[in-house]
Structure 1
Amino acid sequence: MHWKILSEPFPINTWKWYRLRGIGFGLFVFLFLLLFQPFSLNLFDTKKLLYVTIVYGAATSIVILCGGWVFSKWIIPRLDDEKWTLGRQIVWNLLLMIGITLLNVYVTQIMHQTVLPLWWWLIMLKWVLMLGVLPVAVAELIAYNQHLRYNLKAATQLSQLVQQQTIISDGGFNITSTSGNLANQNLTTSLPDGNSAIILMGDNQGEKLELLHDNLLAVQALDNYVNVFWEADDQLQSTLLRNTLTNIAEQVSDAVYMYRTHRSWLVNVQRVSRVDGNAQGLKLSVELMDQQVPVSRGNIPGYRKLTELQHQAN
């Protein structure tokens, strides 16, 4: 294996993914212990064997579910998901395995009403790592390749559409939003005149930015502020406003072409010049901007649909 692959971008898993993984690994541990009976489990009668294997399987599920919940609810919002890599994903899985070891040893001490020596903890850790490291590493590599192939294919198809279409100055088309990612939540709407003005308001008194619809390129969330990227005389401009991305999305709700591609980005799909892909999702090159705009995995279908509808409207 080329070790450089460990530094490749990797999508951050959702709570739904951890639920499935927790149940799946718990079932795997239960069946493995029941069928192969290590740790002298073959000495137990059927009733006790079932009880012990169910307890260990449940302990495994509990650690993964609790770890996944904490990761999804508390860690992910504080992470820069663009810096999450395959290597970090594997390390996080190793931490979960250590947690599984600790809980399983604790459960063993309770069931046998004893205090186990350190060497027993190390033996348990060895078994957990033997059972988990290879399957997890293989599973993550397979997932990485699947995400990469899918996103590269999507990027190629969308780039072809982007290169063919021109800026829409008037007219309209229908959009059906199922994920709630569009800045405009109406099911049917029409594009505003590209020469009409739009006003973005900040929370500070008198803070506002007035520009043409077509000149708004993208908006990035930065903690309690948003960075608005816009065009003036063929030059890139940026303005910092104190506001949230959600509020800005509401302010441009009449602009169907503004799409929430990521929790931190709102982009004018009409100004996208190129689409690239990696395992995490898509990367949009926007006219005049050096910084690429990410499209998270869950938002790819919506972006694809909007781009295809825009192409059809042309």
Structure 2
Amino acid sequence: MFKIFNKPHPFIFNTYSIVIPGMAAFLIILLLAPFQFQEIEILQRSLYALLIALFVSASIFFTVKLLQKLFPAFMKEDNWTIGREVLLFLMVIFLIVLGIFASIFFTYTGNESIVQLFLKTTFFTVCISFFPIVILVLFEQYRQQKIQFNRAQKLTETLKAENEKLQSETIQYAISANQIQLKAENGKVALQLFPSEIICLQSDGNYVDVFYEVDKVVTKKLIRNRLKNLEETLTTSNFFRCHHRFMVNGNYITKVEGNARNLELTLRGIEFKIPVSRAKVKDVSSFLQTLKKSS
């Protein structure tokens, strides 16, 4: 269960995140009239539905904005997970429950105790909120999936147009460029390669795996050092830090794929896909354009 909650999840907060739950709550109360709403006349029910819809939308907006201001580290997009998404929804629902309970409490004339009234309000609110939340999640997932797919398709088309040109110029680039010395933590040279021979670097704490290609043979070398230190050596425009654990050579990118969570890069000679950090997604397009111009 904890593994599921720790899985990455896209943090999506836009106009739809505010409007859709409010509209869904309005239509549910007005048309379906759950619980005791069917006993209220249509005009009065419409007013109740509108007020509740506005309160739902306002609760979502101010909850997210307040959390972003008070807990910026918790609300950081790169760290967003399924568990945090669920927690955010629970917090919003709790605030909605408190608001509705407060409005009912000051006008309530029945015989129920405060506890019974609160539990009843919570039950009704959770039941009504369930469908707007499901609708919102499905809509946002579909929309994000479509955005990422279109972005990946566009980037892949750019790569296809330039890939042959980049590969044909690799040999010439290798001859003209100076070799780079990749040093270990103790200062000793662990690898000496042309920039064009380096495919990517993968960090694992104090160690970095360097994937490189010489005479069409891909090799992996483990170096005791941090990726941040090696990054300072790779100063040419061909290299891109796409993730906190990965740095890639743009000349080896053959395909860009995307889903609702993130983008992934396919590199020539590498079997696994390279993730793109959510904070770096917008930079991929600019990097490829720069790479295209420099070629």
Unmatched runs of 5 consecutive residues or more in structure 2: 31-35, 38-51, 108-112
Query: Contact conserved, 1:10 with 1:280, CA < 8 A, in 2?
Result: yes
How far did 1:135 drift? 2.4
Paired residue secondary structure (1:73): coil
Percent of aligned pairs with the same amino acid: 13
Please tell me whether the aligned partners of residues 11 and 297 of structure 1 are also in contact (alpha carbons under 8 angstroms).
no
How many matched pairs?
Answer: 267
Distance (Å, rounded) in 2 between the aligned partners of 1:110 and 1:248: 63
Aligned amino acid, residue 153 of structure 1:
N
- Residue by residue over 1:194-217, the C-alpha shift from the partner in whole angstroms, topping out at 9 and shown as x without a partner, is 752223345x32355333212222
- The answer to whether the 8 Å contact 2:201/2:208 transfers is yes
Which residue in 2 is equivalent to 1:242? 225
- 2:243 aligns with 262
In structure 2, the residue matched to 1:180 is none
Identify if the C-alpha distance between structure 1 residues 149 and 257 changes in structure 2 by more than 3 Å, giving closer, same or farther: same
Report the AA paired with residue 225 of structure 2. R
Is 1:13 aligned to 2:8, yes or no? no
1:284 maps to amino acid: L
Evaluate the alpha carbon distance shift between residue 62 and residue 200 of structure 1 in structure 2; reply closer, same or farther with a 3 A threshold.
same
Q: Distance in 2 between matches of 1:54 and 1:138?
A: 17
Partner of 1:73: 73
Task: Call closer, same or farther: CA 1:60–1:126 in 2, change over 3 Å.
Answer: farther
Alignment pair present for 1:218 and 2:200 = yes
* Contact 1:280/1:296 (<8 A) preserved: no
Is 1:144 aligned to residue 144 of structure 2? no
Which residue in 2 is equivalent to 1:199?
181
**1:180-195 alignment, distance < 5 Å:** 195=177
CA distance in 2, matches of 1:131, 1:193: 68
Match of 1:122 among 114, 119, 122: 119
User: C-alpha deviations, 1:167-205, integer Å up to 9, x for none?
Assistant: 34489xxxxxxxxxxxxxxxxxxx886752223345x32
Deviation string 1:218-260 (CA, Å, 9 cap, x unpaired) is: 22343x4353332254123042433253x4333322x101112
Is the Cα–Cα contact under 8 Å of residues 277 and 283 in structure 1 kept in the other structure? Answer: yes
Aligned CA distance change for structure 1 residues 205 and 70 (closer, same or farther; 3 Å): farther
Gaps of 5+ in 1: 1-5, 40-51, 172-190
Question: 2:98 & 2:245 partners in 1: Cα distance?
Answer: 37
Distance in 2 between the 1:213 and 1:229 partners?
A: 12
Q: CA deviation at 1:99?
A: 3.5
1:26-37 matches, within 5 Å, as 28=22
Aligned counterpart, 1:271? 252
Q: Per the alignment, in what secondary structure is the counterpart of residue 13 of structure 1?
A: coil
TM-aligned CA deviation for residue 93 of structure 1 = 4.5
Contact 1:97 1:128 in 2 (8 A): no
Counterpart Cα distance in 1 of 2:265 and 2:128: 40
Q: Distance in 1 between matches of 2:207 and 2:132?
A: 42
Superposed displacement of residue 67, structure 1: 4.5
**Structure with greater helix percent:** 2
| C-alpha spacing 1:231/1:104, structure 2 compared with 1 (3 Å) | same
SS at match of 1:279: coil
Q: Is the 8 A contact 1:60 1:100 kept in 2?
A: no
Matches within 5 A, 1:40-189: 61-67=61-67, 73-74=73-74, 79=79, 84=81, 91-100=86-95, 103-104=98-99, 117-163=114-160, 164-165=163-164, 166-167=166-167, 168-169=169-170
2:146 aligned partner, one-letter code: R
| Matched residue type, 2:218 | Q
Give the aligned CA root-mean-square deviation in angstroms.
Answer: 4.9
Match of 2:48 in 1: none
Return closer, same or farther for 1:152/1:71 CA change in 2, 3 Å cut-off: farther
State TM-score, norm by structure 1.
0.61
Return closer, same or farther for 1:117/1:11 CA change in 2, 3 Å cut-off. same
Larger C-alpha radius of gyration, 1 or 2?
2
Note if contact 1:262-1:294 (Cα within 8 Å) is conserved in structure 2.
yes
Q: CA deviation at 1:271?
A: 0.8
